[in-house]
Amino acid sequence: MNDHVFTLFDTALGRCGLAWGPRGILAASFADKDDGKTRARLLRRAPRAAETDTPPPAIARVIADIIALFAGERRDLSYAELDMNGVADFDRSVLALTSEIPAGETKTYGDIAKALGDVSLSRRVGQALGRNPFPIIVPCHRVVGADGSMTGFSAPGGAEAKRRLLKIEGALQPELFD
């Protein structure tokens, strides 16, 4: 019996997805070009997961908070239980530090690397965030380049999605035509 499940849900930024199992959330996905691509992103981490339209209450709460966040409300997703099985130790350390960045604030890749003990780890920090199986929940969008640039965001929508999330959270000021 397969105990991994996923669901897709509508947000102001498109249809996102979550996959979970008995130990917590396995993967989160930003909206992609179509549902098939979003499903594929989730299934990379939960390959035999079955799709459902009725998530359990704990997952429904995370979904509701993601929907609210993308609609412009501040939400803290740090309560979400994450299944870190298969996540490398270095990546876990990076994800833990990234999870501590509050909404409305940013840190640089160098800041995270310094917190890990060596600024020369900045590139490895970026690589670890590129492998983040829990984007949105572990807010990798809050990590920016040393000059504040929207670099290194591999989620669908790229740098523009990162910029939009940071504006929603108040870390960036709206522009004239927002």
d(CA 46, CA 5): 8
What pLDDT is recorded for position 178? 47
Query: Which residues neighbour 172 within 8 Å (Cβ) at sequence distance 6 or greater?
Result: 163, 166
Q: What are phi and psi of 13, to 5 degrees?
A: -105, 10
CATH of the structural domain 5-70, one choice from 3.40.50.970, 3.30.70.260, 3.30.160.70, 3.40.190.10: 3.30.160.70
pLDDT above 70: residue 1: no
Residue 51: strand, helix, or coil: strand
| 89-169 CATH | 1.10.10.10
Q: Give tens-digit pLDDT for 9-44.
A: 999 889 999 999 999 999 999 888 899 999 999 999
Model confidence band, residue 145 (pLDDT cutoffs 50, 70, 90): confident
- pLDDT (0 to 100) of residue 20: 98
Residue pair 134/18 in contact by the 8 Å Cβ criterion: no
Could you say which of 26, 49, 140, 143 is catalytic?
140
Average pLDDT of 108-122?
Answer: 95
For 68-101, give one letter per residue: b (16+ CB within 10 A) or e.
ebbeeeebebeebebbbeebeeebebbbebbbeb
SS3 30: coil
- Give the number of other CB atoms < 10 A from CB of residue 62: 21
Listed by start position, the domains of the chain span 5-70, 89-169
Write down the pTM of the prediction. Answer: 0.88
Structure token pair of residue 172: 């960036």
**Mean per-residue pLDDT over the chain, rounded:** 89
What pLDDT, on a 0 to 100 scale, did the predictor assign at position 134? 95
Identify the residue with better confidence: 113 or 75.
113
Q: What is the pLDDT of residues 122-140, one digit of tens each?
A: 999 999 999 999 998 999 8
What confidence tens digit (pLDDT) does each residue in 39-98 have?
Answer: 999 999 999 999 999 999 999 999 999 999 888 888 889 999 999 999 999 999 999 999
140 catalytic, yes or no?
A: yes
Q: What is the CA radius of gyration of the chain?
A: 16
Res. 176: pLDDT tops 70: no
Confidence check: pLDDT of 155 > 80: no
Cα separation, 133 vs 124, whole angstroms: 16
Helix, strand, coil distribution of the chain in percent, nearest 5: 40, 15, 45
Say what the pLDDT of residue 47 is. 93
